[in-house]
């Protein structure tokens, strides 16, 4: 069990942080009157150059300019630098691209502004800027730099020896044996001195490399367990690495009114999903009533958002030894689960499946619920969970994309005076509750999610909506090439 848990944690380190194995940030929404889709491809190193792609998907025509601006905080306390202009992509007038430097670790945001015939509109897209990989040096470059370094080293020693041997002689006079001997001695000392400099440089380089590796993002270690209780079995998630969890990321805040969105995903002949919202026993321990899931091994993913705007997914695995037989009383009214997934489609929810699914393609995953009017489910038209069958990819999607709504609120609501931890979180909680109570949808029987599968393979997709006061879950499978 410990080995499986270690594999899961290391896998999470290798793939990404906010969601697993799906590193791109995707947002679909409004920049004022302009509907847009924004894709941010982070470099995986900091400092690093992020690729920004903006697609204007409709609205009033006559878009004149699209700009992007990286922001570290919310409302600025000083004059902002000028934004970068996104340039049209050849062959598609509605697609524009730009590049931005992400200079420091932590929670960032990208402000996208569209200027056109209907005026200007802006939207903030939250992005995590962390190092998740260490770039290797290209072999030809390493060989070239070694050759240049050797040339400079030999050249420097030669210059020192020549200076001692000939610099004080009159033109045309040859150095005698004594001066040549002194030149050789000084050349040896130069080799020693320059060698010490090279060793010092190597030690400095190794120190910088070690510091960078220490700064690379590593998700906090968590442990999950199942406990028996009078009211039924309880799933407990405990954050074991409290220092890593708290270091620089600030307290967690509610997203869609929940401190944590926890997913249990079981693969095999009968894939299963539980979408739970545990209650916090303390700042590091969370409990949820365990649904009567089939016995088996489950991947555990827990989404949290911090008051800094940083979002991350905690990962683990757990073995459920027996199927539950007790009556399930959920810990939260929005908890839901499905123990048996049909091989292709769910009867209640129908996937309007694209003709082909290719890794890297921007897709609009649209699902219809015939004869039903959708109601807000935690403030959204629906929620989707996508997982590769080996657990290497996991993402919790909304119609807005992969972003956490609470992270977006951090940048929209943060004020210069928010220097006390918890102050901004309370304001975001109040806003989230107000939005959840006032949320309304136009009469619709479908929901869509923007996404790009990061790599080929077999995927499981679960879609959850609310209709008639109950949560409806649809399960699907997809082969991505």
The predicted-structure confidence for 236-264, as pLDDT tens digits, reads as follows 999 987 766 666 567 888 898 899 999 99
pLDDT digits (tens, 9 = 90+) for 283-301: 899 999 999 998 899 999 9
- What residues form DSSP beta bridges with 53? 39, 97
Together in a domain, 330 and 233: yes
Together in a domain, 458 and 362: yes
pLDDT at 240: 86
Among 447, 396, 459, CA closest to 264: 396
Phi, psi (rounded to 5 degrees) for 69: -145, 125
Together in a domain, 291 and 409: yes
Instruction: Decide: 299 and 387 in contact? Cβ < 8 Å.
Output: yes
Together in a domain, 399 and 353: yes
pLDDT at 481: 94
Together in a domain, 312 and 231: yes
Q: Which of 101, 129, 157 is the last residue before a domain boundary? A: 129
Q: Which of 86, 101, 129 is the last residue before a domain boundary? A: 129
Together in a domain, 252 and 388: yes
Instruction: Decide: 194 and 202 in contact? Cβ < 8 Å.
Output: no
Q: Is residue 163 part of a domain?
A: yes
Together in a domain, 204 and 259: no
Tokens of 190: 């130069």
Together in a domain, 104 and 194: no
Rounded to whole angstroms, how far apart are CA atoms 274 and 393? 17
Domain that holds residue 199: 139-215
Quote the number of domains for the chain: 3
Instruction: Decide: 305 and 404 in contact? Cβ < 8 Å.
Output: yes
Number of helices followed by number of strands (H, E) in the chain: 6, 26
Together in a domain, 123 and 235: no
From 81-90, 144-153, 317-326, the region with the lowest mean pLDDT = 317-326
Tokens of 423: 């102050």
Together in a domain, 206 and 232: no
Total-model pTM: 0.83
Among 80, 75, 66, 50, CA closest to 122: 66
Long-range Cβ contact pairs of 317-320 (< 8 A, separation 24 or more): 317/4, 317/5, 317/7, 317/8, 317/224, 317/391, 318/224, 318/225, 318/226, 318/235, 318/264, 319/1, 319/4, 320/226, 320/266, 320/290, 320/293, 320/294, 320/295, 320/296
Together in a domain, 337 and 457: yes
Q: Which of 100, 129, 158 is the last residue before a domain boundary? A: 129
């Amino acid at each position: 069990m410990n080995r499986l848990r270690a594999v899961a944690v290391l896998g999470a380190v290798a793939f990404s942080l906010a969601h697993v194995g799906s590193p791109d940030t995707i947002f679909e929404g409004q920049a004022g009157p302009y509907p847009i889709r924004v894709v941010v491809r982070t470099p995986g190193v900091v400092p690093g150059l992020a690729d920004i792609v903006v697609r204007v998907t409709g609205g009033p025509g006559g878009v004149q300019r699209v700009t992007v601006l990286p922001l570290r905080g919310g409302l600025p306390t000083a004059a902002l630098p000028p934004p970068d202009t996104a340039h049209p992509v050849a062959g598609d007038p509605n697609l524009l691209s730009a590049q931005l430097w992400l200079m420091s670790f932590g929670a960032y945001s990208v402000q996208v502004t569209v200027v056109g015939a209907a005026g200007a509109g802006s939207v903030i897209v939250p992005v995590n800027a962390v190092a998740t990989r260490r770039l290797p040096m290209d072999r030809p470059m390493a060989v070239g730099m070694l050759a240049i370094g050797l040339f400079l080293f030999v050249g420097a020693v030669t210059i020192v020896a020549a200076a001692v041997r000939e610099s004080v002689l009159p033109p045309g006079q040859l150095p005698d044996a004594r001066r040549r001997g002194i030149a050789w001695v000084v050349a040896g000392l130069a080799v020693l001195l320059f060698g010490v400099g090279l060793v010092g440089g190597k030690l400095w380089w190794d120190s910088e490399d070690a510091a960078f590796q220490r700064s690379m993002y590593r998700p906090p270690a968590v442990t999950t367990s199942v406990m028996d209780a009078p009211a039924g079995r309880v799933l407990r998630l405990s954050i074991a690495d409290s220092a890593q969890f708290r270091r620089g990321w600030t307290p967690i805040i509610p997203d869609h009114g929940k401190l944590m969105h926890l997913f249990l995903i079981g693969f095999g002949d009968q894939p299963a999903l539980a979408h739970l919202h545990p209650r916090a026993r303390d700042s590091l321990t969370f409990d949820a009533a365990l649904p009567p899931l089939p016995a088996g091994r489950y991947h555990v993913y827990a989404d949290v958002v911090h008051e800094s705007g940083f979002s991350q997914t905690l990962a683990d695995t757990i073995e459920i030894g027996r199927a539950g037989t007790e009556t399930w009383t959920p810990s939260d009214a929005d908890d839901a689960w499905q123990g048996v997934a049909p091989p292709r489609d769910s009867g209640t929810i129908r996937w309007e499946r694209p003709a082909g699914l290719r890794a890297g393609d921007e897709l609009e995953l649209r699902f219809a619920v015939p004869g039903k009017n959708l109601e807000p489910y935690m403030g959204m038209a629906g929620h989707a969970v996508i997982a590769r069958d080996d657990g290497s990819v996991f993402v919790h999607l909304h119609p807005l994309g992969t972003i956490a709504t609470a992270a977006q609120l951090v940048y929209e609501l943060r004020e210069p005076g928010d220097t006390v931890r918890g102050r901004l979180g309370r304001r975001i909680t109040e806003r989230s509750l107000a939005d959840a109570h006032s949320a309304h949808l136009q009469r619709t029987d479908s929901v869509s999610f923007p996404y790009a599968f990061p790599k080929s393979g077999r995927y499981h997709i679960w879609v959850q909506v609310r209709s008639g006061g109950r949560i409806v879950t649809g399960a699907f499978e997809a082969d991505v090439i």
